[in-house]
Amino acid sequence: MQMKKVTDKEFQKYGRVLDVKVPDLLRRLEETPCPEDVIYVASAPELEACEEFTAIQDSIFGGMPIQIGYCNGNNNTLNAVEYHRNSEINIPLTGAVLMVGMQQDVGQDFTYDTSKMEVFEAPAGSVVELYATTLHYAPCNLQEDGFRVVIVLPKGTNTEPPVLTGASEEEKLMTARNKWLIAHEESGLGADGAFVGLKGENLKL
**pLDDT of the residue at 148:** 98
Pairing of strands 38-41, 147-154: unpaired
pLDDT on residue 97: 98
pLDDT at residue 52 in the model: 98
| pLDDT the model gives residue 191 | 96
Cα Rg of the chain (Å, integer): 16
Q: pTM here?
A: 0.97
Give the residue from 40, 35, 144 showing the smallest Cα distance to 82: 40
Residue 198's closest CA among 119, 137, 151?
137
C-alpha separations of 200 from 2, 53, 141 in Å: 18, 40, 22
**pLDDT the model gives residue 1:** 80
pLDDT means over runs of 10, the chain (205 residues): 95 98 98 98 98 98 98 98 98 98 98 98 98 98 96 98 93 98 97 97 97
Which one, of 174, 178, 139, 173, lies nearest residue 158 by Cα?
178
- Residue from 164, 138, 165 nearest 151 by CA: 138
C-alpha separations of 112 from 7, 120, 204 in Å: 26, 19, 17
> Is residue 47 classed as helix, strand or coil in its secondary structure?
helix
* Domain 3-199 top-level CATH class: mainly beta
Q: Order across the sheet with 38-41: list the strands.
A: 15-18, 127-130, 88-92, 147-154, 66-73, 38-41
The whole-number pLDDT of residue 189 equals: 97
pLDDT digits (tens, 9 = 90+) for 150-192: 999 999 999 999 999 989 999 999 999 999 999 999 999 999 9
